[in-house]
Amino acid sequence: MNLIVRRLSVPELTQQILEMGKTGVYRESVFEALQPLATKKQIREAIAHAKQFGLQSVASLRDAELGTYYQVDLVKLQARQHLIHAVDLNEKIGSSPAAHTPPTVQWMLTIARSLAVILTIMGATCWLTGQGQLSLGLFSSGVSVAIVWVLQRTIVNFGGFGDRSG
């Protein structure tokens, strides 16, 4: 019988590992349980990903054959669980506030930055074509939007979007 098994994504694997970690699990047991669903590399990535959401190793329970023993910090998991499928795997959660920002806020920042650049380019174009008043208005608008963008970015970086605790 040829059974085709769908490979799980890293966020799906992370969810599975976190579920196992709620009761405690050894690293080797994680590999055994998830081997049919993912490659070893994907499982290792998922373990690293799960550590960002509360998976912790317990050094005193380390076993020579079974490896590291993992348990989940339920408080940290509950605070960050909504980010499991949203986080960029190339970025650690604690390393960048952008990992904590909702997509709507990221979109808002992108629009403000783009608008500032466009208005500045249009102002430069008008200045080069001899339209002084229009170029001054566009430059002023570009600077104003750039200031708004900087303020927005500062609020996102230091304003507490998401849990910044490590």
DSSP notation for 9-40: PHHHHHHHHHHHHHH-EEHHHHHHHHTTTS-H
Portion of the chain with pLDDT greater than 90, in percent:
28
Pairing of strands 25-26, 69-72: antiparallel
Strand partners, 71: 56
pLDDT band at 74 (very low <50, low <70, confident <90, very high): confident
pLDDT greater than 70 at residue 29: yes
Which pLDDT does position 81 carry in this prediction? 73
Summary mean pLDDT of the chain = 81
Distance separating alpha carbons of residues 73 and 162, to the nearest angstrom: 17
pTM exceeds 0.85 for this model: no
pLDDT number for residue 35 = 86
Q: Where are the alpha helices (DSSP H) in the chain?
A: 10-23, 27-34, 40-51, 74-80, 103-128, 132-158
